[in-house]
Amino acid sequence: MMLKKVLLSGFAGLAVLAVGILIGHFGIEKGSSAPSWMSDLSRDVDEKLIQDGAASTHRELTRVPHMATTAGDEATVQYMLKNWQDTDTGLDASWREDYRVYLSFPNRDKPNNVSVGELCVEKAYQSEQDDPEVVQPYAAYGPAGEVKGRLVYANQGKASDYETLNATLSLTGTIAIVRYGGAGRADKAINAAPFGVIGVLVYTDPYDINDGLMSDENETYPHSWYLPPSGVERGSYKNHFGDPLTPYLAAKNGTYRIPVENITGIPPIPIQPIGFEDAQALICDVTLHLYNRGELRDSANVMGVIWGSVEPDRYVIYGNHRDSWVHGAIDPSSGTAVMLEIARVLGQKVKAGKWRPRRTIIFGSWGAEEFGLIGSAEYAEEYVSKLSQRTVAYINVDISVFANATLRASGSPTVQNVIFKVNIPGSDSVSVYDNWIRYSNRTSAAYGNIPNVGHMTGAGSDYASFVHYLGITSLDISYTYDRSTTRARIYPAYHTAYDTFDYASTYIDPGFTSHQTVARTAGNVLIRLADGLLLPFNCSDYAETLEQFVSTAAEAFEAQLVANGISLEPLKAAVKRFRTAATSLDRTIHNSDLLLLLSGRPLRARMINDQLMLLDRAFLDPLAFPNKYGYRHVIWASRSSNVATFPGVADAVEKARASGRKEDWAQAHKHLSIVTQAISGAAHTLAEAQR
Amino acid sequence: MMLKKVLLSGFAGLAVLAVGILIGHFGIEKGSSAPSWMSDLSRDVDEKLIQDGAASTHRELTRVPHMATTAGDEATVQYMLKNWQDTDTGLDASWREDYRVYLSFPNRDKPNNVSVGELCVEKAYQSEQDDPEVVQPYAAYGPAGEVKGRLVYANQGKASDYETLNATLSLTGTIAIVRYGGAGRADKAINAAPFGVIGVLVYTDPYDINDGLMSDENETYPHSWYLPPSGVERGSYKNHFGDPLTPYLAAKNGTYRIPVENITGIPPIPIQPIGFEDAQALICDVTLHLYNRGELRDSANVMGVIWGSVEPDRYVIYGNHRDSWVHGAIDPSSGTAVMLEIARVLGQKVKAGKWRPRRTIIFGSWGAEEFGLIGSAEYAEEYVSKLSQRTVAYINVDISVFANATLRASGSPTVQNVIFKVNIPGSDSVSVYDNWIRYSNRTSAAYGNIPNVGHMTGAGSDYASFVHYLGITSLDISYTYDRSTTRARIYPAYHTAYDTFDYASTYIDPGFTSHQTVARTAGNVLIRLADGLLLPFNCSDYAETLEQFVSTAAEAFEAQLVANGISLEPLKAAVKRFRTAATSLDRTIHNSDLLLLLSGRPLRARMINDQLMLLDRAFLDPLAFPNKYGYRHVIWASRSSNVATFPGVADAVEKARASGRKEDWAQAHKHLSIVTQAISGAAHTLAEAQR
């Protein structure tokens, strides 16, 4: 519709394929003679009609840079609203919600520079890279400052990297140059400061991102997907998610704001990202001149809703951010295009009166994600009660296609089952499932060899507030690499001026077929969650994960814990209790004579659904991690330790092992009790709620 | 049944009156031809049949001292289990749950003493006071120690009392003697220590408790309800609720325990309660020899349940503690007797197959309340998820009769309506409501003159964990004083060896008629909450309270807030939003064509009920009061300021006014934003959840 014809070659087929994700014969039919409440109660998802889905609108979204709160961003706000308010294909309602948030920008008049000259500007291979709205590379939330010092190579800027270096030379007064990866962006500076380092340069190493290739004459973009020498990865150098001035409060006008100097989790010393061309040229002593500055800006989320017919007070939320660093063709527009397509297909059915989901579907186009998941975090803070009480699941599709080899998914163990059931045809004749299991698999005690669904332990995209802060069952879906052919840390143009429509359509997903596959998969998952009479969650799969965590913990720590007078038995007993309760609930669900449910026990179905919906909520402990902003989920919180088990326990044991202090072992015991109580409490919620 | 005939004079009539609290024609009838789910969906409470209720079993409960975890306590555990497991009058199930908790006891071999001799023993006027199991008076959780110093009278032991004294004489090395009242028990010592005070004596002043009367020859018990000169009020000298070694964790075997020396909120210096006889005799220099010691003990809750027929996953919890300091005839057995009677009446109907509530009813007989609400707090911690997700309301009846003049109730504004509707006949020909309004009333914008339902801002009984920690709509019911005839701080035998069956039946409630009234009232409220198709909560009454709080805050603080750059407008807007949403939900409820609900929209009723059930939950903020253990409810948390408004705001403004520091005004702003967000969030949950 809004696509330029000249660019439509890859899309032409999609417009045709794009219809028909759904809609079953159980849908509410106008003029049916049965009483409407009967169909309300009995309607279930119809699998046969979940078939298709695809992406469009990508070109329009990526025409200009649309960094958060810029004019380009506002244009995407208007574009989303126009689509979602369309009378034929729009949603029931769509609106914007603004927050006043603290962002950080470079100074257009005084570009950041290093040493005597200015940094290389990212070389223009296409007119888009010349757009004056392309923001110069910088470290958002890094302080302004002018520092001069001897340059020292500090690997990835991990704490251990600086420690190692410091053993042989004094880092006081030096400027560290580190490569991306290994440590969080802000941490590269936070780790450095205690050693007297006064500034940090962060470069993208061709080994990490380009499989070693470096020449833009024949090797890198526009000759391939690899990053040109002048390309620079921008990014938010801030550890906590959400607006930094309003922790745990929605950033409205009049909201209390902490003083800027009290922000934690940001670089205490000047820091600047550079390309490998500049990195190569640097020698010995360097000077950084950085002019970044913080600003309060209005950032918008765009919301859209399809009201549920039977359970309007149950929400399935589907979201992605809208803001990019530059044109953001892949990050985030590959996801936004998928979201728009799914919304369009569903909206069309709703507007035509042909279908309405059992539960309410909410679409969220988040603002200012690139600055630290800000839009989604503010939304979670403002609506904390309502979302906690009513949300069935959150589906995140940010970068929908990193590469076009295979599906990738991460999420709560309970949704593994949902994703596996969406076994749609992929490209060639191989199904998405069969293709996926070839690239990434694991052995499950219950199922044997299955695709590997990852854990959501980090805060890499907008799911963070939903899973970690609100305890909402979440999942994240994308298409990704063939790891046997590249070791690229991420797609090479990530957060650079080269992440354009041309790049995406030429090198990432020619024909946009993987976009289609993700749209079908995510759309199908969305409908299963929104339309199933019973939620398709499998709580026994959570038990499998907990058992795995316990056995890992036992193997890694038990002897030492016992030597310190701490027993793992209460934890083991809690997991056993959880398994028993999950098995019993599973049996109830599978023994359920569906007809019985259909013929007048809607509250029985609701009871089971509430048990499933609220399962992840039972793992929240708002006091478990006082030093980790926003993390409350005791199973999925971030973890420093390499031992893949309960994060609070793993990190506390690691600390106690290192120090040997009795108080530190006591903290390990405390974290064991916290997680034991949470698992035990979750088991209580799964146990039968009646005679 | 277990009552001794010789003592039954006052009870004889009750056994007859005790039946028939309930049960309507909507009850599930065996052999009905309508499908069972139809009656399930349509059943509502039948008001006509809510009529009666009364107390019994009081004598059996009070035969021996039953301090927490003693043999006497275990006897009451067995007694509760026997009653609730009775095949004719018992509940669906009943069981005990043990926690291993840290209590504090005096030393039987080395009685605490003051000065050269031992303290007066409480004089025996009846054989019960001679029972060797009567625990000697002591300050639970007060440290053991031997201190000698000059005696100084310090009024009530408030911080301001010590400040005033310290202005004219040095308190270093002194022993303070203070009277009960004005400050919490532990605070009398906590406030003293910073001034160098080395010990504290706490006595009961005849002016405060006995309307000035002091002679046991003709004025005090056994001649009246007044406290004899040797009577001593025992008590827990601990500020936080729950087991002190396992904050926020259920005290199970293997649970992490903090070191005893890390317990906070307990006296840092020796402290001892004494009677006014001893207080009068003390002169000048005194020595305290105290031998209290802490012990880990197993304390039991006794639980009983009647499963709900339609919504088994919705809980109405009714509770009271079981442990006393000595015989505990009033505290807590007056409440336990009422609870047993209500359970017996309901159990009988259930066992006979004549009735089953729509929702599940849970009875809780809590252990170790006297040591700081321990049993109920551990229960709340262990089942935090399940209780948060499913509990409709908590009803607390601890001391059911302080005195027999009038009903007294406190609770969430939403339940005011429920209590008012229980307009049963009281003694004489005056209804409970008409009697109540004579003693305690207020003017409501919506209703005019109505009885005054108090706020639950403190932690005086087991409701604390439910309202403050879990955000569960709670209420507390009792019968109480005619304040025009006595200024007694509490019933005079409170926490002494004189709180016996004889005292209760002779002076507190002859004929036990007020026990009956409380049983009928609480039983009726319980059934309304458990059986109503729609929950009888009125959310507009919450709006009235919030508006009152805002106008109080505006009057008391607004000018000064504005002078410090802080606006009340966002708070006012949030309350307005709350009012609008509440009015709209009210309209929905009252416009509801009940037939429509009955004919197949059970999920619509459930949706409204969930909005009402979860309303108080929306006011929880687990990070709002980092220094107040267990307090998360931003409307009802404890408050030091005298301004009756939002507690966080009131206390922060008070502090800022005193210091004038910018940072303290910033904290006031922060608390304003916290409460604004909570109210706004609550409004979102009340707003329509569908088109």
Q: Which residue has the higher pLDDT, A533 or A316?
A: A316
Token pair recorded at residue A269: 């010393």
CB atoms inside a 10 Å sphere around CB B461: 24
Per-residue pLDDT tens over the stretch B448-489: 999 999 999 889 999 999 999 999 999 999 999 999 999 999
As annotated, the active-site residues of B are 369
Of A249, A386, A673, the CB nearest to B249: A673
Nearest CA in chain B to A567: B254
CA dist list (Å): A422 to A249, A258, A335, B500: 38, 46, 19, 70
β strands within A520-566, DSSP E: none
Radius of gyration, CA atoms only, chain B? 25
pLDDT-based confidence at residue A76 (cuts at 50, 70, 90): very high
Mean of pLDDT values over A262-270: 96
Identify the band that residue B39 occupies on the pLDDT scale cut at 50, 70 and 90. very low
Q: Is the model's pLDDT at B82 over the cut of 70?
A: yes
> Is A313 close to B607, i.e. CB distance below 8 A?
yes
Residue B407 β-bridge partners: B479
Average pLDDT over residues A579-600: 81
Q: Which residue from A minimizes the CA distance to B677?
A: A382
SS3 A447: coil
Q: How many angstroms separate the CA atoms of A394 and A383, rounded?
A: 14
- Collect all residues of chain B within an 8 Å Cβ-Cβ radius of residue A252: 570
**How far apart, in whole angstroms, are the C-alpha atoms of residue B197 and residue B288?**
13
DSSP helix/strand/coil, B275? coil
Please give the helix or strand (H or E) that residue A98 lies within, else none: strand A93-105
Give the amino acid at A135: V
Above 80 in pLDDT, residue A20? Answer: no
Contacts of A383 in chain B (CB under 8 A): 681, 684
Beta bridge partners of A75: none
Q: Rounded to an integer, what distance in angstroms lies between the CA atom of residue B527 and that of residue B537?
A: 13
- Cβ neighbours of B681 in A, within 8 Å: 382-386
Lowest mean pLDDT among A119-123, B13-17, B636-640: B13-17
Which residue bears the tokens 């969080």?
A184
Q: What is the mean pLDDT of residues B70-99?
A: 96
Measured between CB atoms, which of A313, A607, A684 is closest to B383?
Answer: A684
Average pLDDT over residues B281-310: 93
CA separation for the pair B208, B210 (Å, rounded): 6
Neighbours of A586 (CB within 10 A): 16
Token pair, residue A465, equals: 């507030």
Confidence class for position A55, pLDDT limits 50, 70, 90: very low
Q: A106, A138, A107: which is closest to A122 by C-alpha?
A: A138
How many angstroms away from the CA of A313 is the closest CA of chain B? 5
Q: Residue B271 has which token pair?
A: 């402290």
How far, in Å, CA of A676 to CA of B390, rounded?
21
A6, pLDDT greater than 80 = no
Confidence of residue A458 (pLDDT cuts 50, 70, 90): confident
Q: Which residues contact A464 (CB under 8 A, 6 or more apart)?
A: A241, A373, A376, A377, A458, A630
- The length of chain B in residues reads 691
pLDDT at B218 > cutoff 50? yes
Measured between CA atoms, the residue of chain A closest to residue B388 is A618
Q: Nearest by CB to A681, which of B383, B618, B670?
A: B383
Give the model's pLDDT for residue A340. 94
Q: Across residues A561-579, what is the average pLDDT?
A: 97
- Select which of A369, A370, A378, A382 is catalytic: A369
pLDDT at position B597:
64
Q: Is the pLDDT of residue B238 over 50?
A: yes
**Which of B604, B415, B527 is CA-nearest to residue B45?**
B527
B326 or B24, higher pLDDT: B326
CB-CB neighbours of B403 under 10 Å: 23
Among chain B residues, the shortest Cα distance to A569 is held by B254
What are B592's two structure tokens? 């509801």
Q: Which residues of A touch B673 (CB under 8 A)?
A: 246, 249, 254-256
Does residue B500 contact residue B134 with C-beta atoms inside 8 Å?
no
Calculate mean pLDDT across residues A433-438.
94
Q: Looking at the complex, report in whole angstroms how far the Cα of residue A57 sits from the nearest Cα belonging to chain B.
A: 29
pLDDT band at residue A596 under the 50/70/90 scheme: low
> What are φ and ψ of residue A395, in 5° steps?
-110, 125
Tell me if A383 and B250 make a contact (CB, 8 A cut-off): no
Residues of chain B found within 8 Å of residue A92, distances taken between Cβ atoms: 691
Contact B640, B653 (CB under 8 A): no
Reading the block at residue B676, the tokens are 């604004």
Q: pLDDT value at position A115?
A: 77
The share of chain A scoring above pLDDT 70, in percent, equals 89
Nearest-CB residue to A249 (from B311, B390, B673): B673
Residue A50 has pLDDT above 60, yes or no: no
The mean pLDDT of B557-583, rounded to a whole number, is 97
CB–CB of B389 and A599 under 8 A? no
In B106-261, DSSP assigns E strands to 113-114, 139-140, 145-153, 175-179, 199-203, 235-236
- Whether B455 and B374 have beta carbons less than 8 Å apart is answered as no
Residue A286 has pLDDT above 80, yes or no: yes
Torsion sign across C-alpha atoms B616, B622, B626, B631: positive
Q: Return all residues near A266 (Cβ < 8 A) that are at least 6 apart.
A: A141, A142, A186, A237, A238, A239, A244
Q: Provide mean pLDDT across the span A23-45.
A: 36
A106 Cα to chain B: minimum distance (Å): 30
What pLDDT does B167 receive? 95
CB contact under 8 A, A384 and B681: yes
The model's pLDDT over A662-674, given as tens digits with 9 standing for 90+, comes to 999 999 999 999 9
Bond before A570 cis per omega within 30 degrees: no
**Residue A216 reports pLDDT greater than 50:** yes
Integer angstrom CA distances of residue B251 from A3, A626, B245, B381: 64, 22, 8, 9
Report the C-alpha gap between B22 and A494 in whole angstroms.
69
Task: Give the chain B residue whose CA is nearest to the CA of A257.
Answer: B670
- Average pLDDT, integer, range B649-675: 97
Mean pLDDT computed over A530-547 = 96
- Whether the CB-CB separation of B271 and B202 falls below 8 Å is answered with yes
pLDDT attached to residue B429: 76
The token pair that represents B173 in the structure block: 């090395």
pLDDT level of residue A16 (50, 70, 90 thresholds)? very low
Per the prediction, chain A carries an average pLDDT of: 89
Band (B113; pLDDT cuts 50, 70, 90):
confident
Shortest Cα distance, chain A CAs vs residue B188, angstroms? 30
Task: Specify the pLDDT at position B421.
Answer: 87
Q: How far is A306 from chain B (nearest CA, A)?
A: 9
Ranges of H-type helices in B504-568: 513-531, 539-563
Q: How far is A344 from chain B (nearest CA, A)?
A: 20
Which tokens hold the place of A321? 């951010």
Q: Which residues of A touch B614 (CB under 8 A)?
A: 385, 389
ipTM of predicted assembly, 2 dp: 0.90
pLDDT, tens digit, 9 for 90 and up, residues A642-666: 999 999 999 999 999 999 999 999 9
Domains and CATH numbers, chain A: 5-103+297-400+456-477+511-531 (3.40.630.10), 539-686 (1.20.930.40)
Under the banding of pLDDT at 50, 70 and 90, the label for residue A88 is: very high
**Mean pLDDT of the region A279-298:** 90
Nearest to B243 by CA among B72, B107, B70, B369: B369
Contacts of A606 (CB under 8 A, 6+ apart): A311, B603, B606
- For an interface test with B, give the residue of A356, A384, A386 to mutate (most B CBs within 10 A): A386
More confident site: A41 or B628: B628
- pLDDT at residue B285, rounded to an integer: 87
Beta-strand ranges (E) seen in B261-329 are: 271-274, 285-290, 293-306, 311-321
Q: What's the pLDDT score for residue B42?
A: 40
A91, A389, A567: best to mutate for the B interface, most B CBs within 10 A: A389
pLDDT grade for A599, boundaries at 50, 70 and 90:
low
Q: How high is the mean pLDDT of chain B?
A: 89
Q: How many CB atoms lie within 10 A of CB A362?
A: 21
Contact residues on chain A for B663, CB-CB shorter than 8 A: none
Give residues with Cβ within 8 angstroms of A615, minimum separation 6.
A414, A473, A537, A539, A542, A682, A685, A686
pLDDT of residue A159: 96
Residue from the list A308, A666, A684 with its beta carbon closest to the beta carbon of B386: A684
The pLDDT tens digits for B15-33 are: 322 323 332 323 333 333 4
Instruction: Identify the band that residue A591 occupies on the pLDDT scale cut at 50, 70 and 90.
Output: confident
Cβ B685–A386 below 8 Å, yes or no?
A: yes
| Structure tokens belonging to residue B375 | 């049993």
Using one digit for the tens of pLDDT, what is the confidence trace for B369-424? Answer: 999 999 999 999 999 999 999 999 999 999 999 999 999 999 999 999 999 988 77
Nearest CA in chain A to B379: A681
Contact A685 B599 (CB under 8 A): no
pLDDT at B195: 98
Of A136, A161, A387, A173, nearest in space to A272 by CA: A136
**Which residue carries 């570009």 as its tokens?**
A111
Report chain B residues whose CB lies below 8 A from the CB of A617.
Answer: 385, 389
Q: Which residues does residue A95 pair with via DSSP β-bridges, in sequence order?
A: A303
Interface A:B, Cβ pairs < 8 A: 160
Return the ∠ at Cα B522 (arms to B517 and B527), rounded to 5°.
125
Q: Supply the DSSP string of A354-396, one letter for each residue.
A: S---SEEEEEEEES--TTTSHHHHHHHHHTHHHHHHHEEEEEE
Residue of A nearest to B620 (CA): A385
Express as a percent the part of chain B with pLDDT over 90. 82
Residue B447, strand partner residues: none
What's the alpha-carbon Rg for chain A, to the nearest Å?
25
In which element (H, E) is residue B209 found? Answer: helix B206-209
Least confident of A424-438, B9-23, B173-187, B283-297: B9-23
Residue A224: CA atoms inside 13 Å, Cβ hemisphere, count? 18
- Distance CA(B167)–CA(B522), nearest Å, equals 50
Residue A27: pLDDT over 80: no
